[in-house]
Structures are given as C-alpha cells and as structure tokens.
Structure 1
Amino acid sequence: MNSTQQGQERQGFWARPSVRRGARFAVLAAIALVFIFENTATTTVRLLVPEVTMPLWGALLIAWVLGLLAGTVSIRRRR
C-alpha cells in the first residue's frame, strides 16, 4: 500500500511552502537586480573617512548583499 492509498495525497509542486517562498524571493531578487543595474550614474560614497567615487549600481549592489547577509544571519539566529 503506498501513501496515496492511505488517504494522503501528494501536494502539487507550487503548493509547497518552500517552493512558494523561493519563487517569491527569485521574483523580488530579479526586480531588485534590474533596479540596481539600471542605475549607471557615478556617485560619491563616504566610507567612514575616505570618499570613493563609484557607479551607483556598485553601491546599491553592496547594500543589497549586506542586507541579504544580515537577513540570513537574523533568521538563522531565530531558529
């Protein structure tokens, strides 16, 4: 007797919570990356003491990656 005969039905692929979370993250990440790489102007960023001139997309990408790392660390600490 397999699991479907015991009254347990298999969930569809998109019904799984981890798949839905991953799909949402992928869509938001794609939108964020398009926004980041569309900003090609040069800007001046102050890093505590020195001022650095760099493309805006570089500064946005650094901020995005740091945000992802902070979110990952906080989620892992909560578990």
Structure 2
Amino acid sequence: MTRTNTHHKDQKPHTPFLSRPAVRRLTPFVLITAVALVFIFENTASTEIRLLVPQVTMPLWGALLIAWGLGMLACAFAARRRRDRHAKRPGV
C-alpha cells in the first residue's frame, strides 16, 4: 500500500499547543491568577477597612478579592485602549 500525504499544499503545518502565541500570552495570566486566588482565600480573618468616610468590618478575603477584581478591570481597560490606539495608526 502506498501512503498518502495528509497535508495539502494550502494547509498550515501543525503548531504545538504550548508554542501558540495565544497560549504563551495566557499562561502567565493563568498562573498569577491561580496564586492570587489561593492567597486571597487563605486570608479569612476579619479586618476594618476605611472607605473614604465610613469604616466597615469585612473578611480580608473579600477586600482582597475586590482589589484583585478592580486591578483586572484596570488591566483589561488599559490593554483595550492600547489595542485600539495601535489599530488606528495610519500608514504604519
């Protein structure tokens, strides 16, 4: 029997999963997020937090989770602005 070539001329060669650009960009994000979430949920003690004027008592994990979420939103906003700014550059 003759072996047939399964790759056509117009097909791209197979790229290993860990070598793909999207995976290489997301891997540090996933690792840092996992470590941050473990850190957040290990801190279960209550603490007093001043929110400008009022002072509230809440679990430390809640405060850390809110801070982490706000940081993620800020990062996503900055990345989106950067992407939009580079997309609008004429002639580059």
TM-score class, shorter? 0.7 to 0.9
| Counterparts of 1:57 and 1:34, CA distance in 2 | 10
Task: Compute the displacement of 1:21 (Å).
Answer: 1.7
Structure 2: runs of 5 or more not aligned: 1-7, 84-92
Q: Which amino acid aligns with 2:67?
A: A
More helix by share: 1
What are the ranges of 5 or more consecutive residues in structure 1 without an aligned counterpart? none
Q: CA RMSD, aligned part only?
A: 1.3
TM-score (norm 2): 0.76
- Which structure has the bigger radius of gyration? 2
Query: Which amino acid counterpart does residue 31 of structure 2 have in structure 1?
Result: V
Matches of 1:43 and 1:3, distance apart in 2: 61
Q: Which moved more, 1:66-75 or 1:17-26?
A: 17-26
Runs of 4+ residues over 6 Å off in structure 1: none
